[in-house]
Structure 1
Amino acid sequence: MEDLHREITEDYELSDRRDDDRIDEPEPPARDDVREESTREPHQLEEDAVRVPSAEEVTSSLDRAHRALVEINTRDAYDAGREAEERAADLNRWSADDMAAEEELTLVDEG
């Protein structure tokens, strides 16, 4: 730390770390230009084509979405019930432990 006020004369003195403390970080792999990569990819066909789904397709999609939401809500309700049961069991166990500890203290005080 005595070197803090010393004049810096070389580039290596700019660092607080010594060379043997430095971690050799691998250089990232060389990558082609993104524009070059995109020219090698096959072009999408009809990428701008707009299509309105049929009523049957929309109904099918909505039915699947509805079933998924029902399943999620059912799972959430089940999980909440399990958590409530586990919480009640924990509270009962803690209460029994506290009562046993109080009874033990009472017996020690009387004895």
Structure 2
Amino acid sequence: MFHTQVPTVDAASVPADAALLDVREQDEWDAGHVDSALHIPIGEVVARLDELPDDRLFVVCRVGGRSAQVVQYLVAQGRDAVNIEGGMYAWEAAGRPMASSDGSEPFVL
């Protein structure tokens, strides 16, 4: 079995106006997420493909594993998708803005 190369980008290089897809679970999202991101847990991505924008999609999870799987799937479907290397931990470390669902201090769960 072979692995195809997954397109990746570091968190600091993601454009501020990028279309982001967060594939983490609800509790992870609630703790801390990118305010403008679309939240579709990994298990729902296939069923909700029609909700994804047509532009380049930057996909994120906690550390990059789940989002890499989603990027692999999206690329196989002919979509322009990129994995955010290091996930939300890298996003937070890069000082990128985050929000929580309840207004408290956001963190990566």
How high is the TM-score relative to the length of structure 1? 0.16
Determine which structure has more spread, i.e. the larger CA radius of gyration: 1
Please identify which structure carries the higher strand content: 2
Greater fraction helix:
1
**What TM-score do you get using the length of structure 2 for normalisation?**
0.16
